[in-house]
Amino acid sequence: MGGSEQKYVSEAFQTNWIAPLGPNVDGFENDINDYLGGNCYTAALSSGTGAIHLALKLLGVSKGDEVLCQSFTFSASANPIIYLGASPVFIDSEKHTWNISPELMEIAIKDRIEKYKKPKAIIAVHLYGMPYMSNEINQIARKYDIPVVEDSAEALGSKYHSMKCGTLGDLGVLSFNGNKIITTSGGGALISKSRELKEKAVFLATQARDSAAHYEHSHIGYNYRLSNVLAGIGRGQMEVLDERVMARRNNYKFYKANLSKFDSIEFLEEPDGFYSNRWITCIKTKSFETREQIRLALLDDDIESRPLWKPMHMQPVFKDVLHFTNGVSEDLFNKGLCLPSGSNLKQEELNRIIDVIVKTPNL
Ligand SMILES: *Cc1c(COP(=O)(O)O)cnc(C)c1O
């Protein structure tokens, strides 16, 4: 926590706004709008997963539809497609940002259109905070008139040619889960380009109650609004977001300065115009064996590290799902490692991590 979270939470208690609405919810939404550069409308929600679910719902995704989704991601990017009775089609990554490959995406779109299954939406992800190739993705999406849901759950504070991540797609998704760069313990947001869409999202997120004195419903609703207590934590966290981004970027800088001399360790560099919040510092090693050697040596010293996300097209739960692959995400899964990346890592802790890694034989 940054410091002023408790003040906002106390205000919620003192004024008895213990509900999924109130001054902190409005204040948090305004803070996010301002941070993202205005011109957008934020709906604070109970999770990023809920935000993706509502985004797809707002785009009219329903039973039998197909939705293109980046394969190299966390399962929460894809699960809401299934909630709606639609089918994901997984797309592999390119090597420059590790995110959805524009080339493969266009191949997939052409293939699906040929089979009378034009995709209803695209879910692209700024994985680990690195922006995806937004210009290329948007260009193709516009060419075929398919809306883009921008999963920016890991990328609050990242930028693409000075535009903030969260504002690059037709609808943007943020997460404030406990593991993200800032947190409300649990929470999320849907970013839209019009007040109308935001109001529609809030309507669906609060049980879709029509205006009447009694409870009248002409739509199926959800209970996805963020609590005013948790939004208070969010307001405090927004005050320290830029500090957190600096801390995470410094972690990356330190790891890179100390490890890039080894031929077997590769870092994910920022292409020109890309600015990553470096939510997690990831390395790609030369082989599965090297990755495991490093991971197990760290574990032996009580330091947790983790393989990169296992691609969705390799997950048992999605084993029968159509996918367009090129081997990039599978290779990253086999050889990649997430290093400890907390915003509160101390210099002596970072030194300890390096000391263990550099002792790995044959780096
Ligand atoms: C965390 C995360 C989500 C889901 O957000 P929650 O708030 O945890 O529901 C979605 N996509 C990605 C890429 C994530 O990392």
Token pair in block for residue 114: 């040929």
Q: Which fold has domain 242-358?
A: Aspartate Aminotransferase, domain 1 (3.90.1150)
Q: Closest ligand 1 atom, CA of 76?
A: 10
DSSP string over 324-342? E--SHHHHHHHHEEEPP--
Where are the chain's structural domains? Answer: 5-240, 242-358
Q: Closest ligand 1 atom, CA of 47?
A: 7
**What was the pLDDT predicted at 3?**
82
Q: Are 220 and 208 in contact, with CB atoms under 8 Å apart?
A: yes
The dihedral through the CA atoms of 55, 58, 60, 64 has a sign that is positive
DSSP conformational letter for 156: T
Query: How far is Cα of residue 36 from the mean position of the Cα atoms in its chain?
Result: 15
Ligand 1 centroid to residue 76 C-alpha, Å: 6
User: pLDDT tens string for the chain (363 positions)?
Assistant: 988 999 999 999 999 999 999 999 999 999 999 999 988 999 999 999 999 999 999 999 999 999 999 999 999 999 999 999 999 999 999 999 999 999 999 999 999 999 999 999 999 999 999 999 999 999 999 999 999 999 999 999 999 999 999 999 999 999 999 999 999 999 999 999 999 999 999 999 999 999 999 999 999 999 999 999 999 999 999 999 999 999 999 999 999 999 999 999 999 999 999 999 999 999 999 999 999 999 999 999 999 999 999 999 999 999 999 999 999 999 999 999 999 999 999 999 999 999 999 999 888
**What was the pLDDT predicted at 362?**
84
Q: Reduced to 3 states, what is the DSSP secondary structure of residue 263? A: coil
Residues at CB less than 6 angstroms from ligand 1: 47-49, 73-74, 76-77, 125, 151, 153-154, 175, 177, 188
Ligand 1 centroid to residue 259 C-alpha, Å: 29
Distance CA 305, CA 295 (A): 6
**What was the pLDDT predicted at 15?**
96
Q: Are 337 and 285 in contact, with CB atoms under 8 Å apart?
A: yes
Token pair in block for residue 256: 């890179």
CATH number of 5-240: 3.40.640.10
Q: What angle do CA 308, 311, 314 make, to 5 degrees?
A: 125
Task: Say whether 180 is catalytic.
Answer: yes
Ligand 1 centroid to residue 195 C-alpha, Å: 24
Q: Reduced to 3 states, what is the DSSP secondary structure of residue 343? A: coil
Q: Are 309 and 333 in contact, with CB atoms under 8 Å apart?
A: yes
Q: Give whole-number Cα distances, 44 to 14, 69, 112, 127, 323, in Å.
A: 22, 23, 34, 21, 32
